[in-house]
Chain A
Amino acid sequence: MSIAEAADRARLATEEILASMESVPRGVVVDSPPGAGKSTLVVRAATELVRRGHRVMVIAQTNEQVDDLTDVLAGRLADHDGDLRAGRLYSESHRVGWRVERHQNVVSAKSAGELLDCRVVLSTAHKWATVTSDEQWAWAIVDEAYQMRSDLLLRVAGLFGKALFVGDPGQLDPFSVVEVDRWSGLSWDPTTSAVEVLLNHNDHVPVKRLPVSWRLPASAAPVVSEAFYPFNPFTAATSPQERRLEFGASAFGDNSVDRALELAARSGWALYELPRAHKPRTDREAVRACAALAARLLERAARTVSERSPDPLPVTPDRIAVGTAHRDQATAVRAALAELGAEGVTVDTANRLQGREFDVTIVLHPLSGRRDATAFHLEAGRLCVLTSRHRHACVVVARKGIPDLLDAHPSVEPVHLNVPVKFPDGWEAQQAIMAHLERHRVAAP
């Protein structure tokens, strides 16, 4: 598919969604695979609704996300109509980012009452939940709706009449630190996602899909689609020729780190495989390998060519991420990077990498070096987040032996009655990804 065709398909899908918003009685859900233009849709829908004369509230999950959306929306509103103003509602503990403050047409305030003349107001779900108002918003746009817990939706749903829910069903589900079975099987189980509860009670709400990923390269879209979105496939917007990762400096000698990077540059994937061993979570060799791969990318002046720019763009540290399952692993990788003098690379857990995008990601595989798998480590959403953040290449660092570990895993999860089965199954998704990675293996010394 060419970019033009992809753009056409995406536009058609978006237009269909926007058109359907005219007629739906209550709202629309839009499933968006990784990098399918979710934010663009949110901003377009907001502008469109405002243009139709509605007041719109935008609900995102973190302040970071709200600031991002405000930034893009403000730019778009300014292009559209200089008099339209957007409101940024924030709470005591948050400082509004510079990318919001720079816009003339954004009003920031701590109370919704100060934003009455804004046609569109953006804030976090938690902040919205504190707003008391008799006045209803015609529309709400809920971003990252699959990561929002339904009890939070309950607290804000009284504010709006209709809603557009946008999110990625493949990422991590919301969770609770309290483990009680008390609510399992209830259509309003407060520990499940906002979308799930909404659809349980409103089968007239249509579920639409964005069909192409602008982020994932042609090498990754089919793999991620098949493993994590088995019933809702999507494709890459770009063709293999349109994305290139190359190095400004060539390798000297022959070493496995360079070979892994070159393989990843060529094929979009590499499995940097360390010798089989059972290790503590913060496996020093694996941690160092992650850091070494990131540092080497910078050292060799990696650069990208893509539809964004005909000239190569350098892969700067902020375009690289290292993803882990646990916090202590992230801390260890950061320390290892600091030792190598590679500053500015994003290192975080899957939870915190949700919704973000990089050129190259390095993933410490959640099952690397483990004796046993647990539900946490098998969770499909975790691996999906980690393997779908990149525009060019993904290098997975792992100890040998993961397929054996998966085979030996006893698959006897408890089953709750009347709770819909979630797909994909983490265990099967892990198998699928490993089967793919096996073909991109570079053995570490």
Chain B
Amino acid sequence: MSSPGGAGTERRLAWLRGGELPQTHNARTIAALASNPGCARRALLDAAATRKQDIAEHAGYPVPFGMSPFALSRGVVFERQLKDDPGGLLLALLRETLNLDIAEVGFTDLNDVGGSPDLAVRHARTKAVLTGRPDQRGTLFDHPLLRFRVGGRHAYLEPDLIAFRHDDTFHVVEIKSFAVIDGQADPAKVAAAAIQSAVYVLAMRDLVGDTATVHHESVLICPRDFANTPLATTLDVRKQLGVLERQLSRIAGIDSVLAHVPADVSFSLDADEKGVPQRDPGDLLRDIKRVDANYSPECLASCELCYLCRDEASGSTSVLGKSVREELGGIESVPRALKLARGDDPLPVPEDLREAAAILRRAASLRRDALAAARAETW
């Protein structure tokens, strides 16, 4: 057995990927790790940094989520007006929100490395600049390229943040285009922003080491009310940091997941030189299904493989949602739940299902009686 995250693991993950380059992670994909940590299939696809979207599509289950061009352009426009004049609008916002007394700031775009697309070069530059001599004026760093350990491997984070440094303290500044109306915003979107911020905070802490602190309070900048005027709000991400650290430490143990996966399983698309998948879709699907999934309707909002897993789970109470399954006494199979409720199974009820069976039978009889009473109107 190889050491966790060692060469053996790396070889297996590469095999799972099938010769393709690993996908770059971004804060969104890393944040998604927290959304269904109990799913081995998802954990493996993520750890191997596969093209989940293409895999799902090739296996016959196209991904349901797209992005509207209107939403994209709205985001771009909003972000641009802030970054076009960082010393003005952005600084004023930060000053006010963080209660700082700074007259001016420097602005450094770390994306600009003499046109070098090499991630390692960009990361090195980020590191050099961010750990350099602190500037008491306060400095904004756009597009810092961070590096993150996921599943025992370093992944570069496509930057989507600004780091603000003041008095040796960094704040993560996130710009989002969802509106804050009268102080309220969509809680699901804020939650997503918070966990992404937490990813950045962790990666920044990793990068700057002890030379500075990265504050657990991020600054979220959103459009205010119905206008394009920006509004900054601080976001305490301590809880999200706790969650992420724990989930990441589990993903580092991807070996324990791999141990249950047959050695010949591969998610390879066998793409030709033009990138067109050549693999037999049925074959791919079979391999996917050899890794256990943990489907729940929540997956529909976040996982590329959701339709595949939902289809696979049909006939199971998990497709109805967690609370339904709980109310059914934890029974896994729909036909079984029904049989227990009707009490018409000729076979004796197994010992471990008797309690659930009693509850279901009682519910079924109450339901039957109530429907009969309603028909007879004798209540």
Q: Which chain B residue lies CB-closest to A431?
A: B246
| Besides A369-B330, A371-B326, 4 new A-B residue pairs in contact (Cβ under 8 A), listed by A number | A185-B184, A283-B355, A425-B239, A427-B243
Chain A CB within 8 A of B359 CB? yes
B236 touches A421 (CB 8 A): yes
B355 touches A282 (CB 8 A): yes
Q: A278-B330, A280-B355, A420-B236 are in contact. Are A413 and B242 (CB under 8 A)?
A: no
The interface size bin for chain B is 35 or more
- A186 vs B183: C-alpha distance in the bound complex, in angstroms? 9
- A256 vs B188: C-alpha distance in the bound complex, in angstroms? 46
Q: Name the distance in Å between B335's Cβ and chain A's nearest Cβ.
A: 18
B184 touches A408 (CB 8 A): no
A-side contacts of B190, CB under 8 Å: 414-417
Which residue in B38, B235, B326 is a CB contact (below 8 Å) of A370?
B326
Q: How many residues of A contact B (CB 8 A)?
A: 35
- A283 vs B358: C-alpha distance in the bound complex, in angstroms? 12
Q: Kindly identify, within residues 160 to 202 of chain B, every residue whose CB is under 8 Å from any CB belonging to chain A.
A: 180, 183-185, 187-188, 190-191, 193-195
Q: Digitize A403-438: 1 where CB-to-B-CB distance is under 8 Å, 0 elsewhere.
A: 000011111111111101101010110010000000
Chain B residues engaging chain A, CB cutoff 8 angstroms: 34-38, 180, 183-185, 187-188, 190-191, 193-195, 220, 233, 235-236, 238-240, 242-243, 246-247, 250, 294, 296, 298, 322-323, 325-326, 329-330, 352, 355-356, 359
A417 touches B242 (CB 8 A): no
Q: Name the distance in Å between A19's Cβ and chain B's nearest Cβ.
A: 33
Q: A280-B355, A412-B195, A415-B190 are in contact. Are A371 and B184 (CB under 8 A)?
A: no
Chain B CB within 8 A of A279 CB? yes
- A280 vs B187: C-alpha distance in the bound complex, in angstroms? 32
Chain B CB within 8 A of A79 CB? no
A416 touches B326 (CB 8 A): no
A421 touches B34 (CB 8 A): no
Which residue in A408, A418, A420, A425 is a CB contact (below 8 Å) of B233?
A418
Q: Which chain B residue lies CB-closest to A372?
A: B322
Among B35, B38, B180, the one with the most A-chain Cβ atoms within 10 Å of its Cβ is B38
Chain B CB within 8 A of A184 CB? yes
- A412 vs B243: C-alpha distance in the bound complex, in angstroms? 9
Q: Which chain B residue lies CB-closest to A416?
A: B187
B-side contacts of A428, CB under 8 Å: 242
Among A278, A279, A410, A431, the one with the most B-chain Cβ atoms within 10 Å of its Cβ is A410
A412 touches B191 (CB 8 A): yes
- A421 vs B188: C-alpha distance in the bound complex, in angstroms? 16
B-side contacts of A284, CB under 8 Å: 355
B-side contacts of A412, CB under 8 Å: 34-35, 191, 195, 298
Q: A280-B359, A409-B37 are in contact. Are A421 and B239 (CB under 8 A)?
A: yes
- A411 vs B191: C-alpha distance in the bound complex, in angstroms? 10
B34 touches A414 (CB 8 A): no
A279 touches B34 (CB 8 A): no
B325 touches A417 (CB 8 A): no
B-side contacts of A181, CB under 8 Å: 184, 187
Q: List 24 A-B contacts (CB under 8 A).
A: A181-B184, A184-B184, A184-B187, A277-B352, A280-B329, A369-B330, A370-B326, A371-B322, A371-B330, A374-B322, A409-B37, A410-B38, A411-B240, A412-B298, A414-B188, A416-B187, A417-B180, A417-B184, A417-B220, A420-B236, A421-B239, A423-B238, A425-B239, A428-B242
Q: Kindly identify, within residues 262 to 288 of chain A, every residue whose CB is under 8 Å from any CB belonging to chain B.
A: 277-280, 282-284
Q: Digitize A277-319: 1 where CB-to-B-CB distance is under 8 Å, 0 elsewhere.
A: 1111011100000000000000000000000000000000000
- A369 vs B239: C-alpha distance in the bound complex, in angstroms? 26
Q: Which chain A residue lies CB-closest to B234?
A: A418
Among A186, A279, A284, A415, the one with the most B-chain Cβ atoms within 10 Å of its Cβ is A415
Among A279, A284, A374, A417, the one with the most B-chain Cβ atoms within 10 Å of its Cβ is A417
B-side contacts of A425, CB under 8 Å: 239, 242-243
B-side contacts of A431, CB under 8 Å: 246
- A189 vs B191: C-alpha distance in the bound complex, in angstroms? 20
Q: Name the distance in Å between B314's Cβ and chain A's nearest Cβ.
A: 18
- A370 vs B355: C-alpha distance in the bound complex, in angstroms? 14
B-side contacts of A418, CB under 8 Å: 183, 233
Q: Which chain B residue lies CB-closest to A422?
A: B239
Which residue in A371, A407, A421 is a CB contact (below 8 Å) of B325?
A371
Q: Name the distance in Å between B178's Cβ and chain A's nearest Cβ.
A: 11
B-side contacts of A410, CB under 8 Å: 34-38, 298
